[in-house]
Structure formats: C-alpha cells, structure tokens
Structure 1
Amino acid sequence: MSVSYRAVESLDREVRLLRDQDLPDVLEIERTGYSFPWTESVFRDCFRPDYRFWGVFVVGELAGYAVVAYMADDAHLLNICISGRNRRSGLARHLLRHLVREAATDGMVQVLLEVRVSNQAAAELYLTEGFADIGRRPGYYPSSSGREDARVLSLKVSGTGD
C-alpha cells in the first residue's frame, strides 16, 4: 500500500536541513537520548549528498533530528531522536512525516528503518504511520546485556511528492 503525506502545519515548528553549527545541539540530544550514542564523527559524515540530515525546531530551538541515507531508490532512516523535554509532543511524528514526504518528492520508492524490539513506543509510532514489519536483524543493536534484535520496517511511498 502506498501512503501519501501532507504537510503537518504548525506556527511554532520548523523542519530544515541541519548545518555544521547545529552539531553541538544534536550531540546533546543524542547523548541524553541513547545509551549508546553516535559520535560527533559519525554525525559529521552525515553531511553528504546522499544523506538528508533534518532538524525539527520549536520556537527556533533544536528539538530533534533525523538522519536518512538515500540508497538507490530506498530512503533508510538511520537515526531519529527527540529531546527529552519534547518527547510525546507529536514532534517525532511531525519529523517522520516530513522525511517521508521529502523521500517521495526525491523519487524514493520506500522508507526503511530498524527499531529495537524493546522500543514499543517507537514501533507503535511507525506502525500507526503505515510502516509494516518486513523482517528482523538478530543482534543488531548494542545493549547493556550484549546485543538486541531489531525489527525491520518498511513504508512504500508514492514518489509523487503530494
């Protein structure tokens, strides 16, 4: 099933591509959001033509980000994180819809992602946005007890940009 997304409008929210000067705020959100955060060098590598590095801002302040790699006609969501004080505010859904819409506009056929099997809240968000389970990656994520499996989810996008 192909899903079409329309813009989620809000006067106090803005999504834009991130710049180098946004990295300190990205790193702060990453470090507080994950037990095994990405490094600054990993984020610096995301400023490439085949990546989209989006930030969602609330009243001019970075509240979250998403990293998407474009590979052939697939958009692979590699990382999405919302700051602690902005969680459960709809910003993750807002950012997810934006990146899906942009992937469709850019001619991508599907959006793929992995999510920890233990992260029920994130999985629920993706499933309510039309993503479907397509597989599992054993031992994909580091965890305090070794490794944790990932669910692989996919969403077909229209590619029409509407």
Structure 2
Amino acid sequence: MSTVLQIQPIVRPMTEADLPEIAALDAQSYPFPWTLGNFADSMHSGYRCCVYELDNEIIGYAVMMLAVGEAHLLNITIAPDRQGQGWGRVLMHYIIGRARQDRAESLWLEVRPSNSVARRLYDTMGFDCVSVRKDYYPAVDGREDAVIMRLDLIDHA
C-alpha cells in the first residue's frame, strides 16, 4: 500500500520580495488590477497583507485593513488556474479568523455585481448585502457599482 503525501497550503505575511509575483497574479486575474505600488503601500501602511502558498507556489493573497472595531477586506485573489478548488473559501476562513484575533466586530468588503462566483462565496459565508456604491469600479464600458457586504464577527450567545 502506497502513501500519498498531501501538501497543505500555508498563509504567511507578504514580503517585498513577493510584490512582483503578487502584482503579476493580480494582472492575470482582473481587467483593472492593483499596481505593485498599491500592494507596497498597503504593506507599508501596516495593513494585514498575506500570501497563500501551496508547495512554494503563491496561489493567492489577501489585503485587509483594520480600524477601530472593524476590518475591511480590500483585496483577495486566488490564481485563475487554482480557482474552483475551494482555496478561496479556505483563505476567507483564515481572513475571518484573523479579523476576530484582531478584535474586529465586523468584516466589510466591496464586490462587483458581475463577480457572481465571489458573491456566492460571500453569501454562503454569512455576509449580508448592506448597500451599493454607484460607479465604484472602473469597467470596460465606463464604471461598475460595488455591492457593500458585511459579516458580523461577534458571537451572540
């Protein structure tokens, strides 16, 4: 009987050395990506910037900003060739846990209405639609709205 080694992903802090690969991955994933400078600024501002690795390959990342009592997920991405395998859900669970560790009472995010896969993930994880920001995102045809979503992180027992 043979044993199959299961490689587990790790989440670690983003470093300066990761930035070119992260920016390239963002450019592969979105028509209007963040720049390397956006990621560098986030790191230097003290945001929670993490890298999601599987067998020394970056398969995703997230950027979360903390403020008094709340966290705001600014960017979360899974590599296009790794999507649909559950990695986004696992990374979201990590982000939610991290926000709770940081004593956030709520986690906020914006998502494009056209991003049905992400919206479905957020819905199944308990996020509520709170509002819509008109013309928030750049789009091929001009601008696209943002759906503002919130997850309550306080355990009501």
What is the TM-score of this pair, normalised by structure 1? Answer: 0.88
Check the 8 A contact 1:51/1:69 in 2, yes or no.
Answer: yes
Following the alignment from structure 1 to structure 2, what is the Cα–Cα distance between the partners of residues 48 and 94?
Answer: 26
Seq. identity, %: 35
Cα distance, 1:27 vs. partner? 1.1
From 21, 24, 30, give the equivalent of 1:34: 30
Following the alignment from structure 1 to structure 2, what is the Cα–Cα distance between the partners of residues 134 and 74?
Answer: 15
Match of 1:3 in 2: none
Following the alignment from structure 1 to structure 2, what is the Cα–Cα distance between the partners of residues 135 and 73?
Answer: 20
Q: Which has the higher Rg, Structure 1 or Structure 2?
A: 2
Query: What letter corresponds to residue 155 of structure 1 in structure 2?
Result: L
From 111, 122, 125, give the equivalent of 1:129: 125
Following the alignment from structure 2 to structure 1, what is the Cα–Cα distance between the partners of residues 44 and 125?
Answer: 27
From 21, 34, 53, give the equivalent of 2:17: 21
Following the alignment from structure 1 to structure 2, what is the Cα–Cα distance between the partners of residues 136 and 22?
Answer: 33
Check the 8 A contact 1:75/1:103 in 2, yes or no.
Answer: yes
Structure 1 residue 101 corresponds to structure 2 residue 64: no
Segments ≥4 residues shifted beyond 4 Å: none
Higher relative contact order (CA 8 A, sep 6+): 1
| Cα deviation digits, residues 6-43 of structure 1 (max 9, x gap) | xxxx8421111111111121011101001001111111
Cα distance, 1:158 vs. partner? 3.0
Match of 2:65 in 1: 69
Structure 1 residue 113 corresponds to structure 2 residue 86: no
Query: What letter corresponds to residue 15 of structure 1 in structure 2?
Result: V
Structure 2 stretches lacking a partner, 5+ long: 1-5
Aligned-pair Cα RMSD in Å: 1.4
Query: What letter corresponds to residue 22 of structure 1 in structure 2?
Result: D
Check the 8 A contact 2:7/2:54 in 1, yes or no.
Answer: no
Query: What letter corresponds to residue 122 of structure 1 in structure 2?
Result: A
Q: 1:56 to 1:146 in 2, by over 3 A?
A: same
Match of 1:150 in 2: 146
Check the 8 A contact 1:50/1:71 in 2, yes or no.
Answer: no
| Cα deviation digits, residues 99-138 of structure 1 (max 9, x gap) | 1101101101110000001111100000101111111100
Match of 1:55 in 2: 51
Following the alignment from structure 1 to structure 2, what is the Cα–Cα distance between the partners of residues 49 and 140?
Answer: 23
Match of 2:41 in 1: 45
What is the TM-score of this pair, normalised by structure 2? Answer: 0.91
Give the paired residue count: 150
